[in-house]
């Protein structure tokens, strides 16, 4: 069995990333994946970028906000980090079994598992989710973007896991609400089991 830590939506929160990576080490994960929206945020883009390199991420994809960098973020993170972000793939398929995407396979701004048109997140039904998957047939799909941790098992057997957000767990679209915790999603590849762990962190630590 391969144990994989799946992180999403770090949003330049280097303190939260430190806490999550410490937990990843405790869980003896075989791989660490990053689902995007990595350095965009009002916190520490450059420091987050530097910390990422110590973590041994084996797969990283780009999020929608990694395409939408403000001038000050670009200045803070430096040209090497900007080039790295711009070179990331939007999706990756791991060994024909797992699809990594930020929103949906076709759209990094899509809320794959929840309909938010009412102003509140409502879990979509199978048919809607299958439609948004656009034919993606991998047994496991891991996604981010909504910052809402959730595991959905479709009637056809596919499992979709969103680990929630490392950096901005309390979240209202683009406006962080401020919170003292982040979540780490872990998935055992063979059993396609998803679990969500909540860790406390302190902004001033």
Query: Where does this chain bind Mn ion (CB under 5 A)?
Result: 37, 63-64, 145
Minimum CB distance to Mn ion smaller for 37 or for 76? 37
d(CA 205, CA 66): 26
Q: Which is nearer to Mn ion, 165 or 189 (CB)?
A: 165
**DSSP characters for 92-118?**
EEETTTEEEESSSSS-TT--SSEE-TT
Q: Which is nearer to Mn ion, 64 or 158 (CB)?
A: 64
CA–CA gap between residue 146 and residue 135 (Å, rounded): 21
Closer of 112 and 192 to Mn ion (Cβ)? 112
Q: How near is the Cβ of 8 to Mn ion at its closest, in Å?
A: 8
Q: At what angle do helices 14-26 and 45-52 cross, to 10 degrees?
A: 20
> How many residues are present in the chain?
205
| Closest residue to Mn ion: CB criterion | 145
- Indicate the residue among 44 and 145 with the shorter CB distance to Mn ion: 145
- State the nearest-atom distance from the C-beta of 102 to Mn ion, in Å: 6
Cα separation, 184 vs 7, whole angstroms: 6
* Rounded CA separation 46/76 (Å): 6
Q: Reading across the β-sheet that carries 98-101, which strands appear in turn?
A: 91-94, 98-101, 140-142, 159-162, 150-153
Q: In the bound complex, what is the minimum distance in angstroms from residue 165's beta carbon to Mn ion?
A: 9
The least CB distance from residue 176 to Mn ion, in Å, is 12
| CB of residue 115 to Mn ion, shortest distance in Å | 17
């Amino acid at each position: 069995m391969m144990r994989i830590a799946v992180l999403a939506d770090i949003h330049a929160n280097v303190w939260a990333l430190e806490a999550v990576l410490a937990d990843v080490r405790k869980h003896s994960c075989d791989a660490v994946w990053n689902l995007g929206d990595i350095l965009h945020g009002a916190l520490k883009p450059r420091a987050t970028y530097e910390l990422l390199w110590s973590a041994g991420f084996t797969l990283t994809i780009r999020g929608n906000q990694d395409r939408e960098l403000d001038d000050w973020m670009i200045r803070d993170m430096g040209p090497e980090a900007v080039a790295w972000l711009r070179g990331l793939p939007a999706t990756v398929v791991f060994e024909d079994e797992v699809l990594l995407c930020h929103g949906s396979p076709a759209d990094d701004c899509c809320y794959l598992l929840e309909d938010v048109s009412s102003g509140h997140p409502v879990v979509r039904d199978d048919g809607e989710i299958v439609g948004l998957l656009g034919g993606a047939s991998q047994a496991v799909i891991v996604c981010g973007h909504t910052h809402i941790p959730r595991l959905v098992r479709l009637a056809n057997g596919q499992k979709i896991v969103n680990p929630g957000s490392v950096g901005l767990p309390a979240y209202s679209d683009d406006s962080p609400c401020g919170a003292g915790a982040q979540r780490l999603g872990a998935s055992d590849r063979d059993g396609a089991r998803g679990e969500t762990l909540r860790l406390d962190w302190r902004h001033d630590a």
